[in-house]
Amino acid sequence: MNRDLTQTVARIAGVNPRACMRCGKCTGACPAYDEMEYHPHQFVSMVETGRIDELLRSKGIYTCLSCFACIERCPRQVEPARLIEAVRVLAERKQGADHLRPQDIPARLDPDMPQQAITSALRKYRR
Amino acid sequence: MQVNSEWKPTIVAFCCNWCSYAGADLSGTNRLSYPANVRIIRIPCSCRLNPMFILRAFQRGADGVILCGCHPGDCRYTTGNYYARRRMTLLFSMLDYLGIERARTRVEWVSAAEGAKFAATMNDFVQTVTALGENRRLEDLRCKA
Amino acid sequence: MQRIGVFVCWCGTNIAATVDVQAVSDALAKEPGVVLSANYQYMCSQTGQDLIETAIREHALTGVVICSCSPRMHEQTFRKTVARAGLNPYLLEIANIREQCSWIHKDRAQATEKAIILGRAAIAKVQLNTPLQAGQSPVTKRALVIGGGIAGIQTALDIAEAGFAVDIVEKQPTIGGKMTQLDKTFPTLDCAACILTPKMVDCAQNEKIRIFSYSEVEAVSGFVGSFRVTIRKKARYVREDVCTGCGLCTEKCPQKKVPNAFNLGLDTRRAIYIPFAQAVPKVAVIDADYCSMLKNGKCGVCAKVCAAGAIDYTQKDELVECEYGAIVAATGYNPIDLSGYDEFAYSRSPDVVSSLEFERLMNAAGPTGGTLLRPSDKTHPKTIVFVQCVGSRCSAEGKGKTYCSKICCMYTAKHAMLCREKYPDTDVYVFYIDVRTPGKNFDEFYRRAVEEYGVHYIKGMVGKVSPEGGKLKVQASDLLDGRQLHIDADMVVLAAAIEPDKSARPLATMLTASMDTNDFFTEAHPKLRPVESPTAGVFLSGCCQGPKDIPETVAQASAAASKVIGLLSKDSIVCNPCVAQPDELMCNGCSSCEKVCPYGAITYLDKEFRGPNRTTLLRRVAQVNPAVCQGCGACTVACPSGAMDLKGFSNRQIMAEVDAICR
């Protein structure tokens, strides 16, 4: 239970997890459902209730494809993928310092690099 | 101008009967506070406000005058607040010419459901006018006798 | 010399807790013209009112100031009190020291000071009050109901029952509205047509009711008691008085490929048509968009077969002007457009249907004759998935409506139950977020669907529907079991959110009635005046005010009717006496006031005035019709010579208040 982390995650994501009405449309839409130990709607409720440490330890946050199906479908503007992204950013920040600057990205681009990492990096440095 | 911390401006608020006066009542019902130096005069519609009344208020020593009416399009009398908006625009340009600070007069649209907005508007307006200090330019000092 | 009485109310502790009422009444006693200043715990109580009455008589008061709650609360109460004591009720002013003083300020000294100032302003104003007489305005004993669905029908029938004339304006060729398209109704499962069509016939046969079908309201002017409404009767190219409704023309018309709007485009009809068998009035209509005679002058089959000679290709729209005492808006609802919901493949597969379309597919008078068949290949669906809350409870911009559409839970339970009853071999899944069943026998109905009929209710939402090889692949979440479901469905039914009819907003503008951001009409008070619009004489019935099921709609329709009857049973209504008044000596007839008046209350008169040397001069001066003037005061400011003033809020009165406040 960590309220501060909830706020940090919500701030990074720019969405309000409290707006979630537990409809499960995100989870219904998720193509990576079977790969994730926590599913998008659980993710939202875990952020909301402050169970962020568990999320930080979970592999599920890295198996999210960032396909944004849940962002597209969410009727309440909670947009789980943004929260997942925010937790990833949090995990990165916990590693200490920022490892990557936006201007370094083009040099590091690799055709095999997962698209998720690029979007993650861009989102992280946009704010 | 010396700023006296004890000094409180006199604010006259003209509120239309149907929206803003009801909005003011609602902020009362919800116990949302705003400074006691705001005094409300009820008029049937914002278009009843003759610009003369604002000049009169300044002449008699008011430090700020605010007009509140229904939101554009929601006027009980269909078009009253549009007339008011236009008249106030003209009055403001005259007040500019006279050298009255623009912030001493204001027009705000407050509906009957916006008690919170009414209180917030009044708090903000009082703060603005307090910062401007006393109105002396139009005040008729003979009235102070 | 004025003799003014001041009465300060404690309102229990509401005022007295933050305002020193004794200090207020003492201070106000010193104001010029004040002969009496009293305070009492509850001025609005019988004892308080008696106190005022006695004081007026004993002290021969010429004006009364009451420092109490908002005038919006008790002005009328105290006006009556003052009138009982023989004083003109408009010689009263109220200083609002509760809502605008004691309730918002915590500092006792400041609140008391403000209360004194507000009291002074009221005293300054009341010094200049003049006795006013409220005029009377006649009430036209006829009501207009806009919309002929179940709401409009019920309102009209109730008004007619009370003996008043009613007109129904319906934009479709028949009255009946959405309910005619329904199959069964929850929670009793009686057939919609069986309970509705007798009411439609009642409307047609009631001599107090006139039906303007295929008509729309074009313009509204006037005010409560005497609205003037222009109704556009759209050309139906069939003479309503001659057509017998035999339907021969609708069989012979060669243009067969017109999408049938009554069946939501699930089948076709002819260019000349009667919407459905029990239509009222049962008169054919020609669809001008498809009729080849109207489009290029070739055909004329319907005119040849019509034995009654009712077809008239030259018919034009007709404008009818009528007067009404009251207007009821009953414009109803529509399901939202689902084409934007790509994830449910509504536009990509004909087997994904809206609930209203499903209703037609189940209906014995529908395109399939009541047999449930897939629109694509006309086979029986074996697996049916219902999705609730499509477009409802959605805060995301442009994706739907923020409100709950209220009826979807119940009709989905009904659909699911009917499917299982008629076709026990089908698997029926309902995906829900919450099941909301507040209503008499509603929850029992939903539980029956689950327990007796074996409908699979799954908490979760469908994320994706993809048409593949004649099946609909449904991917959904089951939140309670914590799994993702993949169902091969034959048919998907979407419980679309409902929204107010598109005609409601222009109508609201014509009626000067207010609307919320969702285009539902707002009521005069959300709890205490739920069927009246804030505009006097305009009433609300049915879904135009908010989503409702049939029982609620009928209840509200009857409530609106009773309000209309109350209004129409008066011969005249008391007008607002605070109206504009021109000073003829100052008026120069410039027409400025006439131009700004939103009600057309100002006219001009050439009047004789005495000129020099015993001559008479003819001068043009403004005249205000006090029955039409609503007292907004726009003209008073527009008048360049200051001739126009508003009774009850005169220039001198408002300036006196300003002076008192700034003193």
Q: How far is C17 from chain B (nearest CA, A)?
A: 14
Choose the closest CB to C476 out of A19, A28, A34: A28
Q: How far is A113 from chain C (nearest CA, A)?
A: 28
Q: Which of C636, C662, C663 to mutate to test the interface with B (most CBs of B within 10 A)?
A: C662
- Would you call C96 an interface residue with chain B, using a CB distance cutoff of 8 Å? yes
Residue C650 pLDDT > 70, yes or no?
yes
Q: Is there a contact between C632 and B42 if contact means CB atoms under 8 Å apart?
A: no
- In this structure, the strands spanning C462-468 and C471-478 are antiparallel
How many CB atoms are located within 10 Å of the residue C409 CB? 25
For every residue of A34-93, DSSP letters joined together read GG-SS-HHHHHHHHHTT-HHHHHH-THHHH-----HHHHH-TTS--HHHHHHHHHHHHHH
Q: Which of B8, B10, B40, B139 to mutate to test the interface with C (most CBs of C within 10 A)?
A: B40
- Would you call C400 an interface residue with chain A, using a CB distance cutoff of 8 Å? yes
Contact present, A and B (at least 3 Cβ pairs less than 8 Å): no
For A69, the closest chain C residue by CA position comes to C463
Distance CA C628, CA C646 (A): 14
Q: What is the mean pLDDT of chain C?
A: 94
Give all strands of the β-sheet with C471-478 in edge-to-edge order: C462-468, C471-478, C483-489
Q: Find chains touching chain A: ≥3 CB pairs under 8 Å.
A: C
How many CB atoms are located within 10 Å of the residue C100 CB? 27
pLDDT at residue B2, rounded to an integer: 47
Distance CA B76, CA C646 (A): 17
Q: How far is C391 from chain A (nearest CA, A)?
A: 8
> What is the DSSP-derived secondary structure letter of residue B8?
-
For C429-460, how does the pLDDT look when each residue is reduced to its tens digit (9 = 90+)?
999 999 999 999 999 999 999 999 999 999 99
Predicted model pTM = 0.76
Residue A123 pLDDT > 70, yes or no?
no
pLDDT at residue B141, rounded to an integer: 73
Name the nearest CA neighbour of A41 among C460, C393, C486, C385. Answer: C460
Which secondary-structure segment (H or E) carries C419? Answer: helix C408-422
pLDDT at residue A99, rounded to an integer: 59
For every residue of B62-101, DSSP letters joined together read -SEEEEEEPPTT--TTSSHHHHHHHHHHHHHHHHHHHT--
- Would you call C398 an interface residue with chain A, using a CB distance cutoff of 8 Å? no
For C247-285, how does the pLDDT look when each residue is reduced to its tens digit (9 = 90+)?
999 999 999 999 999 999 999 999 999 999 999 999 999
Give me the percent of chain B exceeding a pLDDT of 70. 94
- Would you call C83 an interface residue with chain A, using a CB distance cutoff of 8 Å? no
Q: How far is B27 from chain C (nearest CA, A)?
A: 8
Choose the closest CB to B31 out of C104, C578, C649: C104
Confidence class of residue A127 from pLDDT cuts 50, 70 and 90? very low
How many B-C residue pairs are in contact by the CB < 8 A criterion? 133
What structural domains does chain A harbor? Answer: 3-126 (1.10.1060)
**Contact at 8 Å (CB) between C495 and C408?**
yes
3-state secondary structure of C250: helix
Q: How far is A41 from chain C (nearest CA, A)?
A: 9
Of the CA atoms within 13 Å of residue B101, those in its CB half-sphere come to 14
Q: Which of A18, A23, A78 to mutate to test the interface with C (most CBs of C within 10 A)?
A: A23
Q: How far is C460 from chain A (nearest CA, A)?
A: 5
Q: What is the identity of the amino acid at A68? A: F
pLDDT at residue B94, rounded to an integer: 92
pLDDT at residue A97, rounded to an integer: 56
Structure tokens at C374: 């897939």
Choose the closest CB to A28 out of C396, C397, C463: C463
For B32, the closest chain C residue by CA position comes to C104
Confidence class of residue B142 from pLDDT cuts 50, 70 and 90? confident
For C638, the closest chain B residue by CA position comes to B50
Q: Range with the lowest mean pLDDT among B75-89, C350-364, C424-438?
A: B75-89
What structural domains does chain C harbor? Answer: 4-126 (3.40.50), 147-226+323-332+501-568 (3.50.50.60), 248-305 (no CATH), 335-499 (3.50.50.60), 580-647 (3.30.70.3270)
For every residue of C153-180, DSSP letters joined together read HHHHHHHHHTT-EEEEE-SSSSS-GGGG
Structure ipTM: 0.94
Domain boundaries, chain B: 11-132
**Contact at 8 Å (CB) between C218 and C230?**
yes
For C380-420, how does the pLDDT look when each residue is reduced to its tens digit (9 = 90+)?
999 999 999 999 999 988 889 999 999 999 999 999 999 99
Q: How far is C4 from chain B (nearest CA, A)?
A: 20
Question: Which residues, 6+ apart, have CB-to-CB distance to C168 below 8 Å?
Answer: C145, C147, C148, C152, C153, C156, C175, C203, C209, C210, C211, C212
CATH class of B11-132: alpha beta
pLDDT at residue C222, rounded to an integer: 82
For A65-118, how does the pLDDT look when each residue is reduced to its tens digit (9 = 90+)?
888 899 989 999 998 999 998 898 888 777 655 556 667 767 767 777 666 666
For A31, the closest chain C residue by CA position comes to C475
Q: Is there a contact between A27 and C394 if contact means CB atoms under 8 Å apart?
A: no
For B5-48, how does the pLDDT look when each residue is reduced to its tens digit (9 = 90+)?
678 999 999 999 988 999 999 999 999 999 999 999 999 999 99
- Would you call C118 an interface residue with chain B, using a CB distance cutoff of 8 Å? yes
Q: What is the identity of the amino acid at C507? A: L
